[in-house]
Amino acid sequence: MENAKIAPLASVIDSLNKANKAAGSMLEYCRKAAELAATQLDHNKPIKAALAEVISAYSPQFVGADANVKQNFSAFLVLHADKKAVVDLKIKSANETKTVSTTAGDMLSKPMTKHTLRDLAKQVREVNDIGRATGGGRKPKTPTAKPPATFPTAPDMTDETAFLAWCDNLSEYLLDAVYRPRIDARLIEMGLVLTKTAKGKVVKGRASA
């Protein structure tokens, strides 16, 4: 059964149009606010400190406000802080996406979406090595290198305690990408093959005298 066709209500259309207009107006108000506040940036200070100083001055206006207000204002302010920063602008067409290099200052005079604005601000932050804006979310963690595996030396076969300790670590050898091929190769030389048995199966045997 096809969906029933309904006539759109004028009141709904009006509300949606106002919502779209409000979203665009917010961005433009943030653009204007950042343009005025940019005159207060102290370019004699490191860019991170200069930005923090200005944004902090207007922090009362962000309390209880839409989070987008602070984020958009801060992003525009970042572009003002380093207008010479080279940024990459992605231009999408019907068949492809082109990347064009420009400057943060040049983009300030052009209309842009919220997502483009934040992407450009991110690039300027990266150029100046200042990371994300305060409250911009959790920074990605730098992966820590896994320490190389260490194994005990081969035990003295006459020392049962040392031998048992070595056996307890045998699984580490078998799971290691370097040691396992060497173990298999040595067993083949001896005419043996290492196979996996059912878990819990008891294998009886005794050490040589």
**pLDDT one-digit tens code per residue, 121-179:** 999 999 999 876 444 444 444 555 555 555 555 555 566 666 676 677 777 777 777 77
Query: In the predicted model, is pLDDT for residue 47 greater than 80?
Result: yes
**pLDDT one-digit tens code per residue, 87-126:** 998 887 777 888 889 999 999 988 888 999 999 999 999 9
Q: Read off the DSSP letter of residue 136.
A: S
Helix (H) or strand (E) holding 87: strand 86-92
Domain ranges for the chain, please list them: 14-127, 151-195
Q: How far is CA 21 from CA 17, 36, 64, 76, 77, in A?
A: 6, 23, 22, 20, 23
What is the pTM assigned to this prediction?
0.57
Which of 85, 115, 158 minimizes the C-alpha distance to 23?
Answer: 115
